[in-house]
Amino acid sequence: MPRGRLPITDLKAACDIEHMSSTSKIQHDLWPLDEIDPKKAKFPCCLVWTPLPVASWLAPFIGHVGICREDGAILDFSGSNFVNVEDFAFGAAARYIQLDRSKCCFPPNLAGHTCKHGYQHAEYGTAVTWDDALRSSVRQFEHKSYNLFTCNSHSFVANFLNRLCYGGSMDWNMITVAALILFKGHWVNSMSIIRSFLPFTVVLCLGLVLVGWPFLVGLFSFSLLLMGWFLLGTYCVKTLLES
């Protein structure tokens, strides 16, 4: 073997050691989180959801979402050029799901990606910590116009999750964010369930009494149109919606 050259096995071992060192450093930064405390509105590293006035009365699967810092403070995109901090718009959180920071990609450099989307992730924008990713998303959405149908709170959360390449995916959007909280989220308490479904139940009963079955058909059609719009904008005409 020529002088000055290391065997391939030695080079591989050195790379493995460097990768392990980088990974252990990232893991070291994942300090323990405080307990979830709904009374104080503290949900560390959680995705939270609350019903929207009027919209949720007609379609209870529609709601407003926020994402929480490591200290539990809720951040949500609730108006043009405005991100709420510790003042969740439209009421207290009704559902939540705590996300796993070990499923995030925190690359210290281009070679430190733990996801399979290194270049795409780097081009989109990366972060070295959970809160760092939140700060980047906040800066971006402080210059966005809010629109319930094209750029809303789900867009803000999707942008954040893509910035972390959460779960190894760069395909987070309004639909996947809504599905995550609706199918895997936990109710905060029994009152949250009542607050989420009571208005819809009242509207449904009144509609059936005053209008009859045509009201039910109209309500069902409204829900289908709403879901169709978001599905169309997410998967067919991708320039319609912000994510």
| 50-75 pLDDT, tens digit each | 999 999 999 999 999 999 999 999 99
Per-residue pLDDT at 103 exceeds 80: yes
Q: Is residue 31 part of a domain?
A: no
Q: Is residue 2 part of a domain?
A: no
Residue-range definition of the domain harbouring residue 158: 38-238
Strands lying side by side in the sheet with 63-68 = 82-85, 74-79, 63-68, 46-51, 95-98, 186-187
Q: Is residue 21 part of a domain?
A: no
Phi and psi, residue 91, nearest 5°: 110, 180
Q: Is residue 12 part of a domain?
A: no
Per-residue pLDDT at 12 exceeds 50: no
Which pLDDT belongs to residue 29? Answer: 60
Q: Is residue 65 part of a domain?
A: yes
Number of domains in the chain: 1
Q: Is residue 54 part of a domain?
A: yes
Q: Is residue 90 part of a domain?
A: yes
